[in-house]
Amino acid sequence: MGIPDRILRMLEEKKRSGCPVKPQSELYKDLSFDSLSFIALLLEIEEIYSIVFEIAEMEKCLRVVGLIAATERKVREKAP
């Protein structure tokens, strides 16, 4: 499964709102994530892909499209 599909599926499973997951969805505002569930999500993504998000990079992950792009970028960066 590609990165976008996997992350979308994770968001569908973890969101606590009835809003559909769309590229422009905001994790906090639309999908009812809070700080802890947001960090738990990032840590899970890090484990799956063996990557590490720096603190400043986490801000780019507050929107679905940004989260997917940041994950893809980190995976590309670690590739030999």
Distance CA 80, CA 63 (A): 28
* Smallest gap from residue 79 Cβ to other proteins (A): 21
Tokens 């998000």 sit on residue:
53
Can you say how many angstroms the Cα of residue 3 is from the centroid of all Cα atoms in its chain? 10
Could you say whether residue 80 binds other proteins (CB under 8 A)?
A: no
Of residues 11-40, those binding other proteins (CB under 8 A) = 12-18, 26-29, 32, 34-40
Three-state DSSP at 26 gives strand
Q: Which residues bind other proteins (CB under 8 A)?
A: 12-18, 26-29, 32, 34-40, 43, 52-56, 58-59, 62
